[in-house]
Amino acid sequence: MNIQVVRPRELGDAERARWRELQKADPSLDNPFLSVEFAVAMDRLRDYVRVAVISDGGRVAGFFPYERHSFGIGKPLGGFLTTCHGLISTPDLKLDAKALLRACKLSVFDFDHLVAGQPTFAPYEMDVRPAPVMDFTSGFEAWIEQVKANSPKNLKTVRYKERKLGREQGELRFEWASADPEVLRTLLNWKSDQYRRTGRVDRFAQPWIVELTDMMHAEKSSDFAGVLTMLYAGDVPVAGHFGLRTATTLVGWFPAYDTEFGRYSPGIVHHLQMAEAAANDGLHMVDMGKGGKEYKDWLKSGVLYVAEGRISRPSATAAVHWMGRTPLNKARTIVMDRPSLYRAADRVLKGFGRVRTSMQQQESPNSVVKEPSGAS
Neighbours of 157 (CB within 10 A): 13
Mean pLDDT check: name the lowest of 50-54, 82-86, 314-318.
314-318
Instruction: Judge whether 2-131+306-313 and 138-283 match in fold.
Output: yes
Domain ranges, ordered by start, for the chain: 2-131+306-313, 138-283, 316-354
For residue 108, which amino acid is it?
V
**Looking at residues 93-111, what average pLDDT do you find?**
96
The β-bridge partners of 285 are 135, 249
Mean pLDDT check: name the lowest of 28-42, 44-58, 292-306, 334-348.
334-348
Q: What DSSP designation does 128 have?
A: E
> Does 271 have pLDDT greater than 70?
yes
Give the count of alpha carbons within 13 A of 20, CB side only. 14
Looking at the chain, how many residues does it have? 376
**Looking at residues 209-216, what average pLDDT do you find?**
98
Indicate the pLDDT class of residue 363, thresholds 50, 70 and 90: very low
Give the pTM. Answer: 0.84
Span 366-376, pLDDT tens digits: 332 232 233 33
> Does 352 have pLDDT greater than 70?
no
Tell me the C-alpha distance between 51 and 41, whole Å: 13
How large a percentage of the chain has pLDDT more than 90?
80
Per-residue b or e along 172-191, where b marks 16 or more CB atoms closer than 10 Å to that residue's CB:
bebbeebeeeebbebbbebb
pLDDT at 291: 77
Indicate the pLDDT class of residue 184, thresholds 50, 70 and 90: very high
Tell me the C-alpha distance between 264 and 374, whole Å: 8
**Looking at residues 348-364, what average pLDDT do you find?**
44
pLDDT at 324: 54
> Dihedral, CA atoms, 49, 199, 367, 358, nearest 10 degrees?
-150
pLDDT at 195: 95
Neighbours of 331 (CB within 10 A): 12
pLDDT at 294: 85
pLDDT at 326: 53
Which is more confident, 277 or 330? 277
> Does 335 have pLDDT greater than 50?
no
Which is more confident, 363 or 166? 166
Residue 62 burial (10 A CB sphere; 0-12, 13-18, 19+): buried
Indicate the pLDDT class of residue 20, thresholds 50, 70 and 90: very high
**Looking at residues 314-327, what average pLDDT do you find?**
53
Considering the segment(s) 2-131+306-313 as one domain, its CATH architecture is 3-Layer(aba) Sandwich (3.40)
Indicate the pLDDT class of residue 360, thresholds 50, 70 and 90: very low
pLDDT at 293: 78
Tell me the C-alpha distance between 282 and 176, whole Å: 13
Of 85, 133, 75, 103, nearest in space to 287 by CA: 133
Of 236, 194, 172, 207, nearest in space to 369 by CA: 194
Instruction: With beta carbons less than 8 A apart as the criterion, state whether 269 and 162 touch.
Output: yes
Beta strands per DSSP E along 234-342: 236-245, 249-257, 285-287, 302-312
Which is more confident, 351 or 161? 161
pLDDT at 344: 44
**Looking at residues 98-121, what average pLDDT do you find?**
96
Residue 56 burial (10 A CB sphere; 0-12, 13-18, 19+): middle
Q: Which run of H or E residues covers position 192? A: helix 181-197
Neighbours of 98 (CB within 10 A): 15
**Looking at residues 15-38, what average pLDDT do you find?**
98
**Looking at residues 164-168, what average pLDDT do you find?**
98
Yes or no: domain 138-283 corresponds to CATH 3.30.2320:
no
Indicate the pLDDT class of residue 75, thresholds 50, 70 and 90: very high
**Looking at residues 140-168, what average pLDDT do you find?**
97
> Dihedral, CA atoms, 124, 335, 67, 10, nearest 10 degrees?
90
Nearest 5°: the CA angle 304, 194, 324 is 65
The overall average pLDDT reported for the chain is 88
**Looking at residues 221-244, what average pLDDT do you find?**
98
Q: What DSSP designation does 315 have?
A: S
Neighbours of 106 (CB within 10 A): 27
